[in-house]
Amino acid sequence: MLNNTIFLSLYNLSHYSIFWDKVFSFVAHILPYLVIIGAFVFLLFHHDIIKSKNPFYELIKKWKEISIAFFSGASAWVVATIIKMIVKAPRPYLIFPDISPLLSKTDFSFPSGHATFFMALGVAIYLSHKKAGVIFIILALLIGLARIITGVHFPVDIFVGFILGIIVAIIFNLIFKKR
């Protein structure tokens, strides 16, 4: 099966070097927190507030962008969690007994909540700020890839999470940008 082949190819990048294992673990586990902080700081202090003749109006506008971005991510994560409870797909290390994941996870695998949340966040930012959005989408891709390499997700978990995140962010953007 292609999913397993891709998983094993990427997972085989781990356990060769303590340094790289720490890098992969950092990207999969710590970087997400930094991305959340970075997204909030970017959206709150984007240069429009400083240059504006009406900073209060710009702050309200920024609050709307922050709300859309984080509600998109949170809603996408909730949808992913509901799907996880329905599908109940096991983690890769439960399918392949020789797998020793770099991270510890005990819930279900499909779809990836991380991939879903961070892609929704990245796309929501992209819809308002193209250049910054590209950076946040790249960070989402790196987090997803690292979660495969660390042995906690199959590629299909990440891919479906990305698609779900994109859909939720676009829907939220369409609903709330009109208001």
Instruction: Give the pLDDT confidence of 72-89 residue by residue, as tens digits.
Output: 999 999 999 999 999 999
% pLDDT > 70, the chain: 95
Helix pair angle (18-25, 130-149), 10° resolution: 130
Instruction: Give the pLDDT confidence of 31-65 residue by residue, as tens digits.
Output: 999 999 999 888 887 766 666 677 777 777 778 78
- 15: pLDDT strictly greater than 90: no
CA angle 56/61/67 to nearest 5° reads 125
Under a CB-based contact definition with an 8 Å cutoff, are residues 93 and 106 in contact? Answer: no
Rounded CA separation 36/71 (Å): 12
Residue 48 is predicted with a pLDDT of 64
CA angle 70/171/165 to nearest 5° reads 55
Residue 179 is predicted with a pLDDT of 58
CATH number for the domain formed by residue range(s) 2-177: 1.10.606.20
Under a CB-based contact definition with an 8 Å cutoff, are residues 158 and 113 in contact? Answer: no
Instruction: Give the pLDDT confidence of 86-118 residue by residue, as tens digits.
Output: 999 999 988 888 888 888 877 888 999 999 999
Give the helix ranges, DSSP H, for 12-154.
18-25, 31-45, 48-51, 55-87, 92-95, 113-128, 130-149
| Residue showing tokens 């507030």 | 49
Residue boundaries of the structural domains of the chain: 2-177
| Residue showing tokens 């996870």 | 105
Residue 170, amino acid: I
Alpha carbon of 154 to those of 5, 6, 62, 95: distances in Å? 10, 8, 36, 10
- 119: pLDDT strictly greater than 90: yes
- 154: pLDDT strictly greater than 90: yes
Under a CB-based contact definition with an 8 Å cutoff, are residues 83 and 109 in contact? Answer: no
